[in-house]
Amino acid sequence: MDAVQVNKTLDLKGLLCPIPVVKMAQAIKTVAVGEVIEATATDPGVMADIPAWCRTTGQELVRITRENGVISFAVRRVK
Amino acid sequence: MSETVRTETINTALGALERVLDRRLVAALEVCARCGICAEACHVYASDPRPEHVPAARAERVRAVYRRQHDPLGKLFPWLVGAKDLTEPDLDALAEPAFASCTLCRRCTINCPFGVDTALIMRAARAMLTATDRAPEMLVMLADAAIARGEHAEEFREIYREIVAGLEHEAQERLGDPTLRIPLDQQGAEILYVGLSGAHTILPAAIIFHEANASWTLSMFEASNYGLFLGDPARAKAIARRIVDEAVRLGVKEVVLTECGHAYAALRWEAPNWFGGEFPFKVRSIVEVLADYVRDGRLALDPTANPEPVTYHDSCNLARNGGLIEAPRIVLRAAVQNFVEMNPHGKENFCCGGGGGLVAIPEWFETRMRAGRKKAEQIRAAGAPVVATSCENCNLQLTDLNGYYDLNVQVVGLMELVVNALLKARRRHAVPLPEAA
């Protein structure tokens, strides 16, 4: 288990595409560069959408895991 | 901002307009009798009757610029014909009418005595705004993320396989049938089914295809196309290309799109123009496929599974623009006990107020709730506790309207109702297991 310090958490469970990405994009603006948002979601599309969103927006995907239908991911604001 | 930068911005915007200026758009820009009939046809005006919400008034912002560039009188005597040079404040002011007040639903077009396609003009406005970085950031981001997902498909393939394996297990449990499969990358399958990112578009389809004994495979990609909302043919084509390439690679006979209005419009009507020719496969909505399955008796449905009155919201893209009016009704009559028409419906149905990408833009929540007032009134008047629709955008918007206007209804997708009816029919016909000795 990594020791990333989480600065904000988001509960995106039950939300369907594209809302998890929309909420994440909104939230990233509320933390400082270098800070990390950790989120949980249930929409399986998040597993592909969040890495793609990080790639295009230049944010760092620290981790993404799926267990018992719940996807957990952490994103560090880079810019 | 310097004069040079300002000139570049305006040139970029005008260049974007020129690129989309075909005969259809020219006709729409040149023909308007200013009769005002489009006003009452527009759900935004009907919900919030202000002069700036008249479709012709929205279009006039682009028309004035077009006249200045192309009308001989507009070039010489702009004041005489209402022609106007484009300025940066004009561009800034175009964002709300183009992206928030017009959902590109085309109800104004079918009610216009001349058939003026105001949605086409608003798409040109969106193209101008996107080219000058004035499009809603969220739409740009979602479009670019979709393109990135296509460009890095190999990286996502294994993750996606895992997701699909999990969904397959869920679908088997729901149906009570371990033989159900969700095929992925199945070479030679007849159907490439393109869902959305969410499981809710994949699970019911898997159950339906299994029951209909269809030859199908699931797409790696999602159907939505945010490039279309941006009025940006390059992005829209890049997003569509992922599905086109996949369909060609797998050799499918048809691509079936999930319940999504704009995805249908994009791939069925727009994409052949972007690619400059017909595809070697058909493109259909799942709504058409469901109607065929019902007609052909390939699905045993028990409508008592859906006993409450159900009304249906026609998606603008599927019904008004795509002509899919009877197909969902064939399905509904078979899947529910009491189908109640909304008034008006079919091609005259009012937009839910969330189309054109509006549901993805959080800062315009209040705008779209106000624009949905007419739809809320329609739902209330229909009096049915269940509202079905076959468009994800509509589903999200109707769900929000339900809370905002206290409509106290349940919003469901068409496939969901079909699966309810199918599962009940399956249970009814199930042979009871013999008693244990």
State both tokens at B420.
């309810």
Q: Say yes or no to pLDDT of B5 above 70.
A: no
Q: Higher confidence at residue B213 or residue B428?
A: B213
Q: Which of B416, B420, B432 is closest to B304 using CA atoms?
A: B420
Which pLDDT value is given to residue B435?
A: 53
The alpha carbon of residue B169 is apart from the nearest alpha carbon of chain A, in Å, by 12
As a whole number of angstroms, the distance between CA B426 and CA B437 comes to 26
Q: Which residues of A touch B138 (CB under 8 A)?
A: 22, 25
Mean of pLDDT over chain B: 94
Q: Using pLDDT thresholds of 50, 70 and 90, give the confidence band for residue B430.
A: low
Q: Say yes or no to pLDDT of B433 above 80.
A: no
Q: In whole angstroms, how large is the CA radius of gyration of chain B?
A: 23
Q: Which residues of B touch A25 (CB under 8 A)?
A: 137-138, 141
Which pLDDT value is given to residue B6?
A: 60
pLDDT in tens, B251-261: 999 999 999 99
Choose the catalytic residue: A7, A13, A15, A17: A17
Give Dmax (Cα) for chain A. Answer: 32
pLDDT in tens, B362-393: 999 999 999 999 999 999 999 999 999 999 99
| Catalytic residue flag (residue A17) | yes
Question: Which of the residue ranges A41-55, B25-39, B106-120, B336-350 would you say has the lowest mean pLDDT?
Answer: A41-55
State the average pLDDT over residues B63-82. 95
Question: Which of the residue ranges B156-160, B262-266, B296-300 would you say has the lowest mean pLDDT?
Answer: B156-160
Which pLDDT value is given to residue B163?
A: 86
Q: Say yes or no to pLDDT of B266 above 80.
A: yes
Which pLDDT value is given to residue A2?
A: 56
Which pLDDT value is given to residue B436?
A: 44
Which pLDDT value is given to residue B413?
A: 97
pLDDT in tens, B106-138: 999 999 999 999 999 999 999 999 999 999 999
As a whole number of angstroms, the distance between CA B234 and CA B220 comes to 21
The ipTM of this complex is: 0.83
State the average pLDDT over residues B300-325. 97
A75 Cβ neighbours under 8 A, 6+ residues apart: A24, A28, A36, A37, A39, A50, A54, A59, A60, A61, A62
State both tokens at B189.
């399958």
Q: Rounded to the nearest 10 degrees, how much is the dihedral formed by the CA atoms of B120, B372, A46, B96?
A: 50
- Please answer yes or no on whether B141 and A51 come within 8 Å at the CB atom: no
Backbone dihedral region for residue B142 (phi beyond 0: left; psi -120 to 50: alpha; all else: beta): alpha
As a whole number of angstroms, the distance between CA B173 and CA B431 comes to 18
Q: At what angle do helices B88-95 and B55-70 cross, to 10 degrees?
A: 150
Which pLDDT value is given to residue B151?
A: 86
pLDDT in tens, A22-72: 999 999 999 999 999 999 998 888 888 899 899 999 999 999 998 888 999
Q: Using pLDDT thresholds of 50, 70 and 90, give the confidence band for residue B437.
A: very low
- Please answer yes or no on whether B141 and A49 come within 8 Å at the CB atom: no
- Please answer yes or no on whether B149 and A49 come within 8 Å at the CB atom: yes
Which pLDDT value is given to residue B2?
A: 44
Which of A56, A63, A73, A75 would you mutate first to test chain B, the one with the most B CBs within 10 A? A56
Q: Higher confidence at residue B237 or residue A3?
A: B237
Q: Which residues of B touch A52 (CB under 8 A)?
A: 145-146, 148-149, 152, 156
B30 Cβ neighbours under 8 A, 6+ residues apart: none
* DSSP state string for B213-272: T--EEE-SS-S--HHHHHT-HHHHHHHHHHHHHHHHHHT-SEEEE-S-HHHHIIIIIIHH
Which pLDDT value is given to residue A4?
A: 84
Which pLDDT value is given to residue B3?
A: 47
- Please answer yes or no on whether B160 and A47 come within 8 Å at the CB atom: yes
